[in-house]
Structures are given as C-alpha cells and as structure tokens.
Structure 1
C-alpha cells in the first residue's frame, strides 16, 4: 500500500494537473494540426484513435492494407511490460513472422536487427499502429517520416504537446481516483513535469541544439527546411515527448556525425521502452541493453549490446553445432547397428530393437537443428583500369551559392588519384556533399579551377538515388532498360544476384522491395557504370549490417579511388585511409583515426552542455 506521504504528494500533483487542464483558447486552436502527419503517436483512448489517420502518413496506411498481424497479450493488462505470444505478421501474403513472441520490458532499449527484407520496419509499423494488443495505458510514438512544411517554427513544432499533456493528465486523474498504482502515478507526474510550460522551452531548445539547430534555425519556419531537417524536427518531438514506448527506424539516416554522437548520448538514458532499428554497430553498442534478432520468421532475444550479442550468438551456435554433430553421429551409429544386427542372433536383435526405440525417442523429443548462417553477400566494383595521376586537381577553389551568401569554401588546394581513400567528416552545412558536387561538375567554383582527366568516369551514390528508380519495373527490367547494350538477361540476373537480390525479388516490382533492397538495386546500377572514382554520399542508409560489411569489402577491393561521406563510424574505420574535416570554409586533415574523432566530438558536446 502507498504511504500517507506518497498519497499526499500524489493528491497535490493531481490538483496541479487539474489546474493545467483548461480548455484551449481560440488562438491556440487556430492552425492546429499542421505537420501532424509526421507523428505516429498513439495511445489506447478513443479520442486519439479517432484521429490516428492524421498521425500516420499515407504510405503507412497503404502498407497496412496489405498487412495482417495477430497475437495474444500474455502479460497483465496493467503491466508496464509487453508480452505478446503467438504473434504472426504477413505482408502481401508473405509470412514475415510466424508464431513468435514479442517481449518488450520497461527500462530496456532494444536493437531490432535482421537482414534487409525480413520485415523489421513492418514489425515496427504494426506495433506503432496497434495491430497487436498493446495495453491502453502504454502510449506509443513511432517516428515514421519528416514533419510537413508549415508556417510554424522548429521550436514551436517541438513544443506542441497539448494533446499529449491532456492525455497524461486524464490518465493520472483516473489512477489517482482509484487510489492505486502509486508507482505508475509517480511516473505520469514525472512526465507531466517534463512537459510543463515553464521548462518546455529550455528542453526543446536543448534537444534541437543537439540535433544541429542553431538559435536562428530554431526560429525558422518549417516550410524553409529541407526534408532531412524536417525529419530532425520530428525526431526532436519524439525525444521531447518521452513516450512510454518509442519506436525509431534508422534515426541516424539524416544526421551528421556530431548529431549521431549527441543522439547516442541522449538515448542511452531513455528509461522506458525503446525499440530501435539501426545499421550502425557503433550506435547499437552505445545505446542498446538488449538485441532482438529477426531471423527465419522468429524473434530471438539477447542480453547486452551488439558486440555482446555477436559473442553470445557465436557461443550458442558453436554449442548448437556440437550438439547437432553429436546427435547425427549417434543416429548414424544406431542406424548402422540396426541394419547390421537387426536380423542376427536373438541377443543382437534385442540390442538392435533397443537402439531403434532409443532412436525413435530422440526423434520424438526433437532433434537439434543445424545452424543456418545468415546469407553472405559479395559486392564488387569492376576493374576500372589505370589513369595517369593526377586524376582530379583542385586549384585555389572557392565556392558560394550566391553573391549574397557566405562562402562554403575558400582557396581549396588538393588532388585525387586512383589510390585515394578519403572520408569527409564535419557538421551539417559545412559542405561535404557540396564538395562532391563540385568534383562531379554539378556545381561550378566561384573562383579557381577543377581540372579532371578527360577519361575519368565518376560513379556517385547519394541519398536520393533510389528516388530515380522506376517503381513499376522489376529490378531486372530496370537494369535492362538502363543498359540496353547488355543483351543477356540471365547474365544480368547474376549481376543483380551479387547484390543480394535473388529469385522473385529480381522480377517483382521495385515498389514491393524494402528500402534496403532498393538501395541494392542502385548499387548494381552504379557498378555497371564501371567508374574510376566512387563518390559515396551516405551509402549505408537503409542497408543492413551484413550488406554494409560487404560494401566495405567491395570498396577495399576496388582498384579506383573513393571519397566517402558517412555517419557510420565503423564503415569509415574499415575503408578510410585519410579523414578530412570540412569546417570553417576549408578542409583540414585529421591525423588520428575515426574513433579518436568520435571522442573529440563527445568532449565538445560535454563542454557545450556544461556551458548551457
């Protein structure tokens, strides 16, 4: 039973909550709902469910039409943990999950991993849209897409939590009137204090600052931001609200290394339920307390971060294979004995019958399955031949977008050859992607000159390359259309197969593929250009960990040069021989490795937070 002191504290906070729960004024209601499609925030009350369609974008709703999810809540309805048994999930008739268990415990941060196309994002969507029986008192925020353009500022969008506050206050009143669940009530009051208007502006500003927004940008209208920055605003809202269950699908995709480091530090203190899909081993190591592995239509659970998962899984699989081999040896021995002595003397025949019964019992009790390894990929970029250096010369180059805008770069001097292996790092807006566009010739220098060998072919991979795919075509038809001189369809199938797209995936419409599978189509398209230089701008977005490792191997085996922009510390560590920092209108070589650069960013963040 709660103590008298706890009851008094709860009653006092209940009265404060009632005072805050007032009708909205007309001017507060005016324009309400701008940008709501960015949120996937739901709870079990009818009022919020009635407006669910406003919070889920049309693409998610379309997917839901082809999705079927079943499961039985096996935890107590008032529990803060979620245990759902006999869970199944199908999409377009394809079974993604079959008779498995979903276990999400309060206070745990789960990394959801698995190969591209196994259904990770689909599982998150089915949870976010409450297609499985999540208890009503557990509110969910599923970050699905960027905020819609509007006249509101970034800061205003983050602070718009009236609906969330009212929902929490109603739940607190209900629990207080029942005079029970005191611990849960304290949690609700703690969250209400976090959303209090007096503290809200400071918290919202701190979160936006951590995600790269300057003070001026925080007061800039959403309609003036790109989709990537509006995605950051949606992420800031999710962090600001602190729902009981937070679902994040590749939250680092639109972030630079600085913001990735800040987000890692922020999420590692999340106290409720976090489910995170990420391709970054480094990020999973820093944030997660548990790993959920989606494999062969089942969810398997491991304690610890990604490195601990890999160690535990390796040990379990080694023991499993030992058990499997022992059982197979026993079965072979017994079968041979039965075949040899089953019709011999009475004594030998009895022994053979005994072994046959033992064999039947082993089979009936269930034999150990053979370990099935994850599919391994082997990316490759074709041999490009040699070009005499220098391949590209940058001479005294300066650049700015207009006469009235500040310089992005001033007086750059460097060369690129076929042995170049460079990672470009630095904050958003410093000009990493701009530099690649200058080298490609998509932008022209304001001053200076960029000289390129007349024979050089450059292959550029960027975040929007998948948007150029023709979604109604299959990967095979798309590649044959892009390269009409290539007549052998079977040979093209082999090429696409190297990038992990096999069987029906090659002949189904591209629109039915996962985001990661679409990226693989783009890589196959890029390799067919036979480039001398690879310019890779955030190539890891939507790829699974196994594909990123295959990409790293392909880059290391590539004969040509590579310039890489990435927020994936591990990929940079695997392939980069040099690290160039783009900052303050120039490029500076970092003389230590990328992990030392990460520690440098961490110390800067700690210093900034101390100054605040």
Structure 2
C-alpha cells in the first residue's frame, strides 16, 4: 500500500500535469459585439480560435432564450424586407412589442437608441467544456435592443426570405496560420451559394434583374479579380502590403476585427449588419470605410456611436424608442431636425388637448347640476370629452436622454430625497500652474535599435490652455506620444521637462482592465479616495457619470463595458489632474454620453490632448489639430473637417 506521502506526491504530479495542459487566458467577441470575460483558463494554445465551438454553443443557448415573432408582409421573392407584428423578448424581458421592420434594397440604415434600451438584464454566466476538458466560465453581458435586433436578424429568427443572404459581423477572426489576405479571399462557400441561387433563378423569367445582380456579384468574386479587391480593402483598413502577408495569429484582436470587417466588405452580401464598425479604426480608416459604405447598393444596417459616421453613410435612421421602431428619412442630422419638429408639434397638440380637457372638466364640475340650460351644455361637453378619450389622446413626448439619480440631503438634513437630472460629466477645477507646463526639447524615439524612429527632433510646449487633437495614420505614434509625455516611455534622445506640480490624467482603452472587478464602483472609489469619508458624498460623485442605484453597489465585473468606462472617468476626474490625455475615450459610449463628455471637457480649466476616431468630438473640443506622420508633428492649419476632406482626396487619388 502506498504511504500518505507517496499519495500526496502522486496527487501533486497529477495536478502539475493538468496545469501544464491548461491554456492561457483569452478573449472572444460574442454574437452581439460585446466582450465575454474568461474567468478560468479554458482554451488551448491556439488562443481565441479554440473557443469558437464553445462560443457558438453559447450563442445557440442565447438564441434559445430569445423569443421572436413576426409576419413577412413583403412578397417572398422581393428584395425588400417588410415584417409586421414584430415582437422580441429575451428571458421574458420585452425589447420590441408589436412593431414593424422595414428594410428596403438600396437603403443604408442607422439603428439608434440609448445604450441599455429595454432595461439592462442581469448578466449571463455559462460553463462550457473546452478541448482540454477543463471547465471554463464565460460571462457575457446580455445585449439589449439594438444589438439584440441585429443578432435576431443575423440568425434568421425573423422571417427573412432565404434568397437574401445575410452577413452579421459579430466577432474578430480567430488566430490561425493563414495570412490576412488569405482570410479575406476565403469565399468558396459564398460563391457556391450564389451559383446555386443563380441556377434556380435562371428558370424563372420574372427574375431577370435579380439574376443579373447575382452574375455581377459572382464576377466580383472571380479568382482573377479577387486578390486585387481583397488587397484594396485591406489597404483601406490600414494593412500595408507586408501586413497583408502576415499570419493572423500574429495580430492583436483589434487588427483581427479589421480582417473580419474586410471579409464582410469583400463578400458584399445582400444584407450587411455592422455593430460599431469604427471602434477599432483610426481616422484614416474611418474615412475610407465611410466612403466604401456610401456605395453599398443593397441593404445595410449599422449601429454606431459616431454621429459624423452616421451622417456620412446613412440614407435612413431607425430609432428604437419605447419598444417600437420609428423610421426617418435622411442622415442623423436630418433625423434630429425632423424629430424635433415632430415632437414640438406633438407637444403643442398635447398641451391643447390637456387645456381643453381641463376646461371641460371645470365646466362640468361647476354647471353639471345648475339650471336646465347649463346642465345640457355640461352634458354636451361631457360627451365631447368621452369622444376625445375614446378616439385616443396625444401622448406627452418622452425624453429619452440618459437620466441619473442624485441623492441629496433635504434642507432639514434629516430626510433623504432623490431627483432626476440628465447625465452630466464633470472635471473638478485644477488650479493654476505657470507656463511652461510641459516642454519637449529635441526629442527622438524608437522602440529598439532594430526598428525605425517613431519621432525625430520634436520641439513643442503645452500649457493649461492647450486643447489639441492628435491625428494621423495608425502606427504613426499618437498613443506613443502620450506615453512619452506621461513618462511611461523614455525618449531615445532629447529631454521632456515637466512642471514639478503638474498632475496628468490619462484615459486609454485598457484602463478598465486595471479596475478591481470584485469591488463595487462605490467600494473602489472609496478605496482610491480615502479622504472622502461619507458614502453619500461618493454616491453623488459617481452618480454624475451615469452610475446609479444598484450599479453603484454591484461588483464591477457585473457592469457593461460602457458602465466600466464611466467608473474610469469618475476615477480619472477625481485625481484632479491639470492635464487630460484622452486616448479613444468614446468606445462603448453612446452619442448622448459623448456629448456630455464634450461639455465637461469644454468646461474643464486645464489642458487636454485627445486621440479619437470621432470627428464630431474632435470638432467640439479641439482648438488645434496636430498631424503625427513621417516621424514628426505638423500643425494642421484648418479644422478637423478640413482634415477629413484632405483624407477623402487622398483616398480618391489612391
């Protein structure tokens, strides 16, 4: 019989063997464009790719929890899609109720609505077995409204005719040994499907126009032209010729998402569904994508937080509001104007009706029991009132701007009261520092001796009145410059001098990874700022950034990506910095929240440097545009819209 010591040694060896088999932590994008957290090791050495099957199983479970009803109202062979009596629920939560979906060929739709439309549901946790047989825990935020609708369309849970092929961009490409160019050109399945459909339509005389379109698409997928088209699309999304031949496993998740987007554009499906396609792009690629999508001839439905991008691409807007889909002709700016006019007229009608009702009720109450003549008039007014109510009264306009609760002490200091206010970011006053705050003197930088310089001989200064947006192609060094100014990177040559009292607050895309996920936002902020003793005071601070009620006391890991970003903004603001360095701050924020951020930046009395792909935010907050390119920084003489026109002309020349 083996001794206890021998048993323990054997158990340790077994555990060590299991540990060696455990893969590294990895992430994947779920079916609705959100990132799941993988809490335990559960993928093999292939990283994200090994989780594809498990993620598909999870997506299947999610679709099983979703209930969709609707009736196809358009002709089965039509290229337009009209669905009536559409309802959509998820785990019993009603997201759409008895509405209609209308998507017409040749139209490009922007699907808009507040993040969290339909009320955010609790997050979903599910255990799946990976190839290593190790149990892994995937935690997803259940998608809402807009993303859920795209997912239901993409999975054909809505009765869309089979001849309309759908491409729903849901996740980045899995790492593999294939090159970026090869991944884009993998269209055999698409070609076979189109050939079968063309063969079917060839026997129907009434479908000549559609048949010609299929032949046009088959010609585009022809092998002789395919490589050139695929290369052009990848180049537009920022891939150099060398990068196009690079293996997919050597790219980051953001670049693999660009490859997935390139595949979608290459295939040119009849219906293309895109959820925040600009999140991983720089300004150059955003402009290229905008120009590319402008020429999309079939059906495009996209969700985007970029108002400028919606303006440039969309011919129609679909507004998801109070579980209904409302349709507007024109781009986002035209939608805002039209909706404002409609709501103004609606409120005029509502107020008129309410005045009439109040007047009639008052008359009935005063004269209903008076003389015979007055009583008859009162009865007549009562009948008129009943008819008005029966025919349906105009509803009050419901404001869908994000609202947050502030809890405050009442005047007596004894009772608590809560009131609603629109979302409002805030950066506290930072005080004055005499210039120069930061001086850059003859600075050069490169990452290693074997790589070329990112910058050479930079000379500039920034002060508390600096409001600069850094623009330029991907890899030109925008984020690198911010790291140099922060002191996270050291210059290869030259010197960066900073005022001894200056405090810099840097927001970047990976800041949420530094949050302590097991703490609530309230606990995290109390830990970071122990000088604030009162919980109610901290609740007010966090409330400014759109985190309310249970969100303040739930573990941070249970929050959505957008809510985690708000925790980061609260943390950043209460560092009380003199300078704000903001690197892509708009990812995961909706249009209304971006506007609140812009207003807070404009009211801030310190300096600001911004890297963003959102032209509208840059236009709102930047006083100068600096172009990072060709190892140097050049001040752009006109505004950001002039720079956008410059990028457009560059694309046309190429």
The TM-score with structure 1 as length reference comes to 0.87
- The partner residue of 2:626 within 563, 566, 580 is 580
- The partner residue of 2:168 within 130, 133, 142 is 142
SS of the aligned residue for 1:604 comes to helix
Structure 1: any 5+ residue segments left out of the alignment?
A: 1-36, 42-51
Corresponding residue for 1:395? 441
- Cα distance, 1:563 vs. partner? 0.3
Corresponding residue for 2:187? 161
User: Take 1:53 and 1:102, find their aligned partners in 2: how far apart are those partners?
Assistant: 31
- Cα distance, 1:455 vs. partner? 2.1
- The partner residue of 1:428 within 470, 474, 478 is 474
Q: Is the 8 A contact 1:88 1:97 kept in 2?
A: yes
- Cα distance, 1:262 vs. partner? 0.9
- Cα distance, 1:486 vs. partner? 3.5
Flag the structure with more relative contact order, 1 or 2, with Cα contacts below 8 A and sequence separation at least 6.
1
User: Take 2:58 and 2:294, find their aligned partners in 1: how far apart are those partners?
Assistant: 30
Q: Is the 8 A contact 2:31 2:151 kept in 1?
A: no
Greater helix percent: which structure? 1
User: Take 1:240 and 1:399, find their aligned partners in 2: how far apart are those partners?
Assistant: 38
Corresponding residue for 1:443? 489
Corresponding residue for 1:11? none
| Pair 1:203-2:205 in alignment | no
Q: Is the 8 A contact 1:110 1:288 kept in 2?
A: yes
Which range is displaced more, 80-89 or 476-485? 476-485
| Pair 1:551-2:550 in alignment | no
Alignment CA distance shift 1:364-1:481 (3 Å): farther
1:269-289 residue CA offsets vs partner (Å, 9 max, x unmatched): 111110111111111111100
Corresponding residue for 1:491? 537
| Pair 1:413-2:452 in alignment | no
Structure 2: any 5+ residue segments left out of the alignment?
A: 1-27, 33-50, 118-144, 402-421
Alignment CA distance shift 1:188-1:129 (3 Å): same
Structure 2 counterparts to residues 196-595 of structure 1, below 5 A:
196-375=222-401, 376-471=422-517, 473-595=519-641
Alignment CA distance shift 1:511-1:79 (3 Å): farther
User: Take 1:131 and 1:511, find their aligned partners in 2: how far apart are those partners?
Assistant: 30
1:403-432 residue CA offsets vs partner (Å, 9 max, x unmatched): 000000011111121111000000000000
Structure 2 counterparts to residues 17-32 of structure 1, below 5 A:
none
Which range is displaced more, 384-393 or 538-547? 384-393
1:207-253 residue CA offsets vs partner (Å, 9 max, x unmatched): 11111111111111112222222111111100000011111111111
Q: Is the 8 A contact 1:117 1:513 kept in 2?
A: no
Corresponding residue for 2:200? 174
- The partner residue of 2:153 within 101, 108, 127 is 127
Q: Is the 8 A contact 1:252 1:260 kept in 2?
A: yes
Alignment CA distance shift 1:380-1:59 (3 Å): farther
- Cα distance, 1:182 vs. partner? 2.6
Runs of 4+ in 1 over 6 A off after TM superposition: 37-41
1:316-356 residue CA offsets vs partner (Å, 9 max, x unmatched): 01110110011011101101110111001111111111110
User: Take 1:434 and 1:467, find their aligned partners in 2: how far apart are those partners?
Assistant: 19
| Pair 1:75-2:74 in alignment | yes
- Cα distance, 1:144 vs. partner? 1.6
Alignment CA distance shift 1:448-1:60 (3 Å): farther
Q: Is the 8 A contact 1:89 1:95 kept in 2?
A: yes
User: Take 1:518 and 1:91, find their aligned partners in 2: how far apart are those partners?
Assistant: 23
Corresponding residue for 1:6? none
Alignment CA distance shift 1:110-1:373 (3 Å): same
- Cα distance, 1:513 vs. partner? 4.1
SS of the aligned residue for 2:173 comes to coil
1:528-574 residue CA offsets vs partner (Å, 9 max, x unmatched): 22211111011111211111111111000111110000111111111
- Cα distance, 1:364 vs. partner? 1.2
User: Take 2:30 and 2:209, find their aligned partners in 1: how far apart are those partners?
Assistant: 28
SS of the aligned residue for 1:181 comes to helix
Q: Is the 8 A contact 2:470 2:626 kept in 1?
A: yes
Q: Is the 8 A contact 1:143 1:248 kept in 2?
A: yes
Q: Is the 8 A contact 1:150 1:223 kept in 2?
A: yes
User: Take 1:523 and 1:563, find their aligned partners in 2: how far apart are those partners?
Assistant: 15
- Cα distance, 1:501 vs. partner? 2.5
1:12-33 residue CA offsets vs partner (Å, 9 max, x unmatched): xxxxxxxxxxxxxxxxxxxxxx
- Cα distance, 1:77 vs. partner? 2.8
- Count residues with an aligned counterpart: 562
Q: Is the 8 A contact 1:40 1:140 kept in 2?
A: no
User: Take 2:61 and 2:476, find their aligned partners in 1: how far apart are those partners?
Assistant: 38
Q: Is the 8 A contact 1:117 1:516 kept in 2?
A: no
Alignment CA distance shift 1:515-1:309 (3 Å): same
User: Take 1:493 and 1:597, find their aligned partners in 2: how far apart are those partners?
Assistant: 42
User: Take 1:471 and 1:59, find their aligned partners in 2: how far apart are those partners?
Assistant: 23
1:93-121 residue CA offsets vs partner (Å, 9 max, x unmatched): 54332222222111110011111211222
Q: Is the 8 A contact 1:117 1:514 kept in 2?
A: no
1:417-449 residue CA offsets vs partner (Å, 9 max, x unmatched): 111100000000000001111111111111111
Which range is displaced more, 438-447 or 402-411? 438-447
1:34-59 residue CA offsets vs partner (Å, 9 max, x unmatched): xxx88979xxxxxxxxxx97596677
Which range is displaced more, 69-78 or 507-516? 507-516
User: Take 2:178 and 2:235, find their aligned partners in 1: how far apart are those partners?
Assistant: 17
User: Take 2:558 and 2:153, find their aligned partners in 1: how far apart are those partners?
Assistant: 21
Corresponding residue for 1:105? 104
Which range is displaced more, 313-322 or 120-129? 120-129
SS of the aligned residue for 2:431 comes to coil
User: Take 1:62 and 1:509, find their aligned partners in 2: how far apart are those partners?
Assistant: 25
Root-mean-square deviation (CA), in Å? 2.3
User: Take 2:267 and 2:353, find their aligned partners in 1: how far apart are those partners?
Assistant: 53
